[in-house]
Structure 1
Amino acid sequence: MTQGSRGTTIATVCTLQGGNRLLSAVRFAMLFHCSISAHDPARVAGTIAAIWRGEAHPFPPVEGAWIALAGDDRGTAIEVHPFGIDMLPGTTETAYAHNPAAPEHSTSHQAIATQLTEVEVLAIAAREGWRALHCNRGPFEVIEVWLENRILVEVLTAEMQQQYLAFITPANWRLYLQEHGVPGSGEAVSIRHQD
């Protein structure tokens, strides 16, 4: 491992027997996967996979769950669990329990990239009968797709991804807060791991 010019760790890639590759470290923060719930996990996972031009498959760790795989070089995935199943700390690994009072809506959402055009994304949502619309967030734009008309996923086309990546940096975020007069905008909390 070596240190980059800004102190970031540069990944070392090893080729294992059988041709599998292993990253010994990553040089940047990355969200590999997340999970959401749905009334129809197979349909939701299939729709996400269509937006990614990826694949959807059953997810055996959770009965009735599916997983959408982007098929990219980062292993990007979204697990889609049956609605009303909560993840809990288990005695060893994660435990699952039925929650009859599970809320229909949540503050959780994901922003995902796509190779599709805006027209193609809107057509997929229309095919499913789900709300979808172009939204301007100020510094960047997104397509809001409401899976099952209850779960927000912000879909970014290639152009939208460029806008997003150009804006979402700590320096730009501080400037944005200052420009909008947000109290405490000069204060940032940062915890860095020291090797």
Structure 2
Amino acid sequence: MLHHMSLPARDPHSVARVLAELTDGQFFDFPIAPGAYMVNGCDPHGTALEILPDDRVWLPGPHEVDVGVRESSGPCSGFHVALSVPVSRERIEEVGAREGWLVRLCDRGPFQVIELWVENRFMVELLTAAMVPAYLAFMKPETYGAWLAEVQRSGAVLQAAH
């Protein structure tokens, strides 16, 4: 099951607005990067679309994903996807080690994911069966909206915001 994916856009606000309209969802600021938006509420599965400014890319930071600015065409991109998988964390780690790819368990606050950096170039967030309920609970528009309001009220800066 697809949970969310990131898409680059020249005009992230307009893209988010249109995608929210077409999916009967809502769009919100996505405070991981300036000018980013999240569209969610499209379905009961927590599906979301993250719209990043075209010059933003996901990078493997020191502890978990980070957001950088693309100086030129490089190996990393603004694309990523989150997927539910039927295998265990241990199996994911085995496969990552076999392939020589970075794998790590990351706590996103409201939920956990396992980052798998495919070819050490782009991130796939994997959710085991045990991780899915917390993710689904967070990705409801009312829950995400309340979380965003709290982040904005507190002035907190998310780790990946640059």
**What TM-score, normalized to structure 2?**
0.50
Q: RCO higher in 1 or 2 (8 Å CA, sep ≥ 6)?
A: 2
Point out the structure with max Rg over C-alpha. Answer: 1
